Amino acid sequence: MNAAKENLWKAFRGLVVFWIIGLAIGETLMAWGIGNWPILGSIQAHITADATTYLLWQAVAIYVLVGGAVVYSAFRFRASSMSDTAAPAYQARTWAPFVVTWLVLAIGINLANTIYPGMVGLEQLWGIQLDTKNPLVIDVTAQQWKWTFSYPKQGVTDVSQLVVPEGRTIDFVLRTKDVMHDFWVPAWGEKKDVIPNEVRHLFITPTMLGTTATNPMLRVQCSLICGNGHPLMRAPVKVVTPADFKAWVANNSF
């Protein structure tokens, strides 16, 4: 038994080396991937992307630790062939230090994830919504298969292009005329379903100038299946400076 135990500690040292190499490779690849992240065009997009990238770092680490243990032990403890039926000396049914470590880590990571990025991200998103004194209200009407935008306080109605100023929080008021849709601008990092017989709000603070033509992530896209026109239920987006926005409103209001 003693000999078998020593052997297992030696195997564990090999696993640690395997883990270190795996973590180095995995997290380097992840750093490269996150370095090539698509554009983040609003404060909300930064919050949701923070959550995603944090969880990516963590997922790579857990994948290497757990998956590495599977691969390593399957390789290290393999028999030479199917006909090699001798049983190993090590027949323990459980080993408390391993089980307890696993349990503590699993519960700990879960609690931590619920707090960050889960609740922290939600509180940040809700905080923007609550702190906004004077949001720009835009009525969004979804129907099969087009988007219509109205700016009630500016007197601009029924335009098919979404023009918004940079740096001001917008209150999108979402309604649908027929079936369920989903209002999503990929670059703004959040989406909201539009539900019949209900009114929904989505708060976005654009931080980056641009148009759909310069970056396709900056587009309104229906993100909930709504029939055969669903893929083309898009609308162009234009984020402009506050001065340009004023000029646009003056040209388009009645």
- Binders of another protein in range 99-138 (CB under 8 A): 99, 102, 106-107, 110, 113-114, 117-119, 121-122, 124-126
- Residue 85 as a binder of another protein (CB under 8 A): the answer is yes
Q: Dihedral angle at the C-alpha atoms of 136, 185, 174, 169, nearest 10 degrees?
A: -20
Q: Binding segment for another protein among 37-45, 163-171, 203-211, 243-251 (CB under 8 A)? A: 37-45
**Distance in Å, CB of 251 to another protein, minimum:** 29
Rounded distance between C-alpha atoms, residue 26 and residue 113, angstroms = 21
> Measured from the CB of residue 126, what is the shortest distance to another protein in angstroms?
7
Q: Using CB under 8 A, which of 23, 27, 30, 73 touches another protein? A: 73
Tell me the closest approach of the beta carbon of residue 40 to another protein, in angstroms: 10
Cα angle 177-163-205, degrees, rounded to a multiple of 5: 95
Q: Does residue 91 interact with another protein by CB under 8 A? A: yes
Say which DSSP state 241 is in.
-
Q: How many residues bind another protein (CB under 8 A)?
A: 87
Q: Does 13 bind another protein (CB under 8 A)?
A: no
Q: Which of residues 192-211 bind another protein (CB under 8 A)?
A: 192-193, 195-198
Count other C-beta atoms under 10 Å from residue 253's C-beta: 11
Examine residue 245 and tell whether it contacts another protein (CB under 8 A). no
Specify whether the CB–CB gap between 162 and 192 falls below 8 A: no
Select from 134-142, 153-161, 220-228, 235-243 the region that touches another protein (CB under 8 A): 220-228
- From 22, 186, 206, 210, residue interacting with another protein (rule: CB under 8 A): 186
What H or E segment, with its residue span, contains residue 3?
helix 2-35
Q: Which helix (H) or strand (E) holds 181?
A: strand 181-185
Report, in Å, the least distance between residue 32 CB and another protein: 12
Element (H, E) at 142: strand 136-143
Minimal distance in Å, beta carbon 222 to another protein?
A: 8
**How deeply is 206 buried, as exposed, middle or buried, from its count of CB atoms within 10 A (0-12, 13-18, 19+)?**
buried
251 touching another protein, by CB under 8 A: no
Query: Which range, of 146-154, 156-164, 173-181, 243-251, touches another protein by CB under 8 A?
Result: 173-181
Question: Encoding tokens for residue 99?
Answer: 């089980």
Q: What is the rounded CA–CA span in Å between residue 236 and residue 163?
A: 9
